[in-house]
Structure 1
């Protein structure tokens, strides 16, 4: 007899938030398992932070329900939801030292003094800040302040951890270090977490699943692999990672055309105008056409070459389109320059095909490439 699946720890049922006539979050439903880290990913204004604030009780929902471990918490105030929150700006009390910042939430919950001290020490050890207990926030670096904010959220031993773009104020190297540290602590504690970010790399690196949002609507929910490799639509494909975007056409006979070039691709677009999307790092420069079925191959002309450290970014004119190719650099490599004719090759399964979007919905960026 197969074991029954564990019930979800956090459930959103038809969650909505309206500001007048504006629907900031629209009928959002999803479930989060115990110990799962789910990311809310999307551009500014997509509703991800509004969703997090409704989950945490910082903003009332217009409609829908929020269920935690089978209990409806939709109408409960924040302090009765058993959730810890890490804010984008950390929101530390400047007049309190680190230990006092951590202890404050425990005092509000009337935790006895001895237990408060033990919990604070455990939380400081968890984020490796035992030696900084007596310092004020202004005496800490950005990364240390982030650790204090994380420890303050965890010291109350919540059942759910909410993180609202917690890494946005850190430099690139520290962001990577802190995202790994957050993931390690989350997994070690086995705590359910909701992580809000607009950074695709962060979401792909640490989340078990990602909910991609646009204009208050959930566009796709899936694992990082599913979101990246099998995007549900043109928006998801373009928002998560870098991708070439070109206008094509699928004939009544099923042939996929990019200008005069016949391609093979994956997708469910019917006959008529389509959008063809290919990730730059999936295209290779080659001297000979690839053998066997399942490959696309075409000849174009290099229009620009840009050195960006570990990569060469090469723009190639291919019929009506301009495709970006990302090629790793290494000593002695021979690469094509502007004006050179080159042959491109990429797998058919890396050619994503979607129905052409209405004008103005997905404006084409320069060189047909979505920004990272």
Structure 2
């Protein structure tokens, strides 16, 4: 079956409910009215993951209600996913149905696509994958025009690339990104561009330096680096660090120093709690930080990191959880006020939303 979208006419209603929720959460801090950035109502999600369910001797794409792993909803297409994913779904299904090497003990399929049209398919198995599998997968990759990754316990075979290539437009410039399989990327590319542009404008052109925490693959780092003198960026994931370094090189951006540290570790370093070998060649005192940019996980910033960012004149904060955003602002409100805020509808038809604030010292 196809899983239909809600009535598109209801999209503006659910977006308005999110706006009101954000306004209520930020009301105690005298926030200005948020800028609201909408999403396409369909074909907006660039990645998708499906379990497979065996029925009538065939494997089908399946999804489950939260908490119920025994009552699958079998699907043929997925309207919220990108047009490229919906194009690939039946083609991939036909391929595994025609090939025992591809279908035997296949239990999960993951798609990763881009606005630029690139695609990567990951096939996950409850068995060892071998040369017979690789030969079939190489034919599949050629036929579909995608990269393919096979995963089984302790083994990963890459056919093509282990990442997709994206291009995002900010301020009239196309920034090119490598987005690795298995690493975090923004799921809604259209809204991601709007987030990047908002952050770019909120930062403005400056003659001082930027500290960025949780930089990931450099999603925000690339455009923001063009607005400041220098950037010190931190990220803990090795995969994301390697992707960020490649993205900086691919875009010819040379004013960023990237250090593999968590936000908590950087806080300890700046507070002189303990030294880190990864900072041995970094002259922290040589930076003139005017702004700190943070895009933390859903849990938000811990109390110590909040106290760290309080030192900065300006705090540019992107959040995927408005409740933890509000909790962090409550800790910072005595020293900083909200100058700008925004709602980004990264996740239509759900309660989830992305938001942003620019906090400026009182």
**TM-score, scaled relative to structure 2:** 0.28
More strand by share: 1
User: Bigger radius of gyration, 1 or 2?
Assistant: 1
**TM-score, scaled relative to structure 1:** 0.28
More helix by share: 2
